[in-house]
Structure 1
Amino acid sequence: MRNLIINIFVLGLLIGCTTSKTVSEKLVIDNSYADSLNAFNKAADAFIKGNVLEMKGNFAEAIIEYQEALNIKESSGIHNALAKSYLAIDKLPKALEHSRRAVKLDSTNADYLMMLAEVYSDANLADSSSRVYEKIIGLDSTNYQAYFYLGQLYEAAKPRKALTIYERLLKETGPEWNVLLRVADLNERLGNVDKTISTVEDLLNLDPSNIQLQKLLIDSYIKSGKNEEALVLIDDIIPLFPDDISLIEYRGKALIEMKRWEEGSEEYIKLTKDKRIPFVSRVKIATAFLNEANKDSTLTPIAKKILKQIDADSTDWQIKAFLGEIAIKENDDSTALKYFKASAENAEWNVQVSERLGILLFDNQKYEMAIEEMGKAVVKFPNSFVVNIILGLSLAQQNRHEEAEIPLKKAIDINPTDLTGLHAYGYTLNQLKKNTEAIKYLERALILDGQNVQIMGTLGLIYESDKVFQKSDSLYLLALSIDSTNALILNNYAYSLSERDIELQKAKKMSQTALDKDPENSSYLDTYGWILYKLGDYTNAILYVQKAIDKESDNATLVDHLADIYFKMGDKKKAVELWRKALQLNGSLEKVKQKLAQESM
């Protein structure tokens, strides 16, 4: 109808301008006008068809009609319609071309400017889009839609500027739902918790039963430390939604923030029982409590309770490993071993679990179990330093030095500067009578740590066995200058002196000091008894060596010493009996064989 009125109006103007013309002139003008009117009607018809097709969603066909209209007569409206349809089918370059042309033809039309801003925005030309929105606002400061879109445009890169625009808009419009939602979201992102609370409270005034807003307000209360307010709101809502996961979590979180750990943990236990909660989320809950327990041991029972709840219906290796760590803290090594063994079985691919199990077994002196578990682990993790070192150390503790040599060598190949590895490997080589190699590795260790008394002691023993007494004595004395009360060094140096029958009083004094520090040690008892024997105090010598044998009855050297004392006292029968026993324990003792041979002659 509007087009018809315009056409009639134009026709009227044209007719009104013909009164002074001749008849022939009037005929020419009338024919020209008729052609123009016909073209206009064709353009209008094509435009209307395009508009109908556009409303039906047939944008490609609409574009054809709009283009036909444009070919007949160019207008800003047709360009804008083309821009809209091209945008709908993601033809951004064409949309931009026509939108720009529409604005060029009519630079103050708000609809055309809004379309251009939208095209720029979809083309990721945010700066261009924002300039257009600002122009619209400059033309009409009450164009609230332009304010809103400009705010949205700034949210990602310029959130504070977006907030300023939204706040200006709210001053003009009053509380408006969509704008308040954007403001609440921005304030939350920017950490403006108090402003978030204020905005959400305004939103709740508009929609007091909106559960999502209530949750946002609860979350904001907790973030700002207003845990009492959060609890009040939660306890008002939760009877209506007793199974709502987020409300349960918020309640637990608020209680925890208030240090009401027992009550808070009960809420989290509800979550760990809930099958809707992904397992990984349940593990996160347990981990959070475990971390707190690491800071405050009084919370360990709570962490344990949550972990056991998860473990009740899970075979997860991580939960079992966590429970194993708690058992270690509680000095319950048997339970710790149970959990770590189960964890290792459920996570055969996880080297750390196997390593933790190995360390635990070794620390608890369960060497056979350590050998078994690390023997399996070393096949899967041949380049694990921990697996190799624990396997080697455990074998060495069982005097299986030939087997220990391989994993210990592998360990120091992996970590050439590890003192434990170098020391253990050197000791094992010594036990295998490979003293030259042993000395090389032990001296390397001593270069790395020149104050390590244990390494000095082992190196001293090797030099002593090689009868390089000057070096062995120097090492013992150096070790004692660092740690004058080291029982092992005192014992070994004292025994070395007694074997050479020198400085026996000094040896006795050192041995006594070692024995005072560790009176149940069989080696220390034997050393002291042997020194007494060397000093001629046979009665007391027998007493101490016998005590040593009582503690370590399968040690052939101790039995040999006792035999020597009885022989010196004239009880040859007892001596022979003991020498034979020593050989039964260790058939490679050549000196004992010689003693028996002499007595049988």
Structure 2
Amino acid sequence: MIANSIVRWAAIAALSFSLAACKSSEERAQEHYESGVALLEGGETEKALVEFRNVFNLDPLHREARTTYARIVRDQGNTREAFGQYLRLIEQYPEDVEGRIALSEMAFLTGNWDEFDRHSEKVQELAGDDPRVKAIATTARFRQAAIAKDRPTMQAAVSDAAALAEDLPDNPLLRRVLIEGYLRDQKFADALAQLDLAIEGEGDKKVFHLQKLAVLTQLADFPAVETQLRTMIDIFPEDEALKRQLIRFYMARQEPEKVEDFLRTIADPTAEDPAYYLMLVQFLRQQSGSDAALAEITRSLESGADPVLMRSLRAGIQFEQGKRDVAIAELEDILATAEPEQDLSRVRVALARMLISMGNEVGARRLVEEVLAEFPNQTEALKMQAAWQIDADQTDQAISTLRTVLDNSPEDVGAMTLMAQAYTRAGNQDLARDFLSLAVEQSGNAPEESIRYARGLIREESYLPAESTLISSLRANPNNVSVLNELGRLYLAMDDISRAQQIVDTLRRVGTEQAQGNARTLEVQLLAKQEGPDSALEYLSELAQEDGNSAAKIAVVRALLSAGKVEDALASAESALAEDPENPSLRFMLYATQAAAGDIPSAIEGYKQLVKEDPARDRVWIALARAYAATEQTELSNKAISDGIAANPASPNLLWAKATILERSGDIDGAIAVYEDMYAENSNSPVIANNLASLLSNHRDDPESLERAYNAAKRLRNTTVPPFQDTFGWILFKRGEFEEALTYLEPAAKALSTDPIVQYHLAKTYQALENTESAKAAFEAVLEATGELDTRPEIEEARQFLRDAE
């Protein structure tokens, strides 16, 4: 019996296997598909996806499985895989409407415009009456109209989108069209309604939150702005820019108590990166004084915070209080007593910064080198090294150093700003502009970064991008006085009187002393543009009547002098000083007015008395030197400059005057030495760089001097300032780059037609290019710009060339 049973079961098994083997791959694929559907209905999505993948292994053309699988992964947010699955579907079934709709929507939402155009056009051919296809068509029409700046067509598309949205309230394409359209037409209430719906359905999309924040800021609904910022911080806790933006918002609203409350919620002295705790301490120092900040540090030390960090922080505050020796001793003690395995790189960098401010750059460099030897990627040390490299015109090395910083800390705004400085110094303005723009973006439109970028754009007369930058910063930092002032100056440059007046009105509403001062200055300039100098002068006179407003009184005198009303200026200066006879600024104003009126002896006596009382007044020393020079007392003029420098050895104004005197007297080496000292103190000044490079290239021919001149002048590449063009063009000539030199020297010679040396530079370039006729004309221009008694070598060479040519 047992043997028979075994035989019977073996036969049944064999029969089952043979039946299974008879099933086609399509039939087995269908079974997997049906199993997947059942699993999906039971809520077991991942198992269902496995079954659908089994379907594809058996039957790659299974349409329902492909459609269902693509829909599931799209719903899961896996757009990339969903897009690929739908592409596979329409390759197999080109007329599949669902696939084309899905591809059109995903392509639009990801900005894949080629794919959007391809699929949206095809689906309109296949099912133009489908409401979802109408939504796609409306979106395509709106997009094309936006590209073409066709406002009527855009508005018509928005109306169609609103009508379609009644039946398709959750359609993502219609929602985006409505939001963009309403924002363009400044229908802010409608835009907010759509943004709220978008956030409700797609709350993880930061763009909707940012758009809502921008609308609320535009509407000046500041309580709602605060709520929105806090909501965004809750949803996107890793976005540090939002936290900084909320802090700036509170500061702009003059709500320091809210700043402190918020900082205390996010500041942790024990965190791996205690940036917000450092911000809290700095805030307390600014708002409540150093003692409040030191008390906070003491509490942190008592609660178990890192003693090295807290002691370093305390030393920094003591240094700012003027207790420099105490602060340095504190840091040196930390370095001497710390455990060998401790990372003390931050302490060394902090000490290096202190040493720099005390003039000990050698000690600071040694510390930074020690840090980088142990920690080659220490961000702050690398930034200090890069700053030194920029100052030394080692721009290639600085750029390489800063790339290392940004590789390790891609959000470092300070490194981006330094990178912009390096590219500016290297003469690559395009890349410098790009990094300034990145710094603005990364800082969350912070005022300092925005103003820096805007000023660069304004110098290039790119007014509209500058305006956009400043407005974005103002939205993020409502009523920021610095941004408002910069925007007001921009509108004056654009001759946009109405918006300049709006800025003046806003500054007055802000009401702080700085805001009121900026408003007055802009108002004067506005009146001068709008109604002429007399109206501006009248307004200044009214301001001058205010008690203690010496700045307005000085401005009145300057305005009268500019208008040629010397006697009125003198009377006004005397009247102002009579009201406040001990005011040094008003006394200086009177003496300067006396000099302008021709009473130079009285001016000289006044200047002498001022510098006797306070030798640190470098501007007075220069005025005294000019007064002596005006009466041909050259020795006394030179002595005034020398005495001024003895009292103010680092004064750039006096050093500049000394360099000019040395150059005029023929002491070129002495002038170069002065400019070298000035350049070492302020290598960011393009004027100092130009003057140093000009003297080096005009008066020295050794390779080292020429390379020094080129490195200092690289920032002048693409300049449109004629003296800078002449300097850089002549350096290129001496480097043998004649064709490029010509692109600078021709416009320089045209603009500086009365300068014989500039004409000589152009003539020599033509001569090097064997353009004899142009060289002859340029050498003739050299002689036309000078007299017969001029025996400078360049002039004699011009005469000889023309004699030879004849």
Per the normalisation by structure 2, the TM-score is 0.29
TM-score, normalised relative to structure 1:
0.37
| Greater Rg by CA | 1
- The structure, 1 or 2, with the larger RCO (C-alpha pairs under 8 Å, 6+ apart) is 2
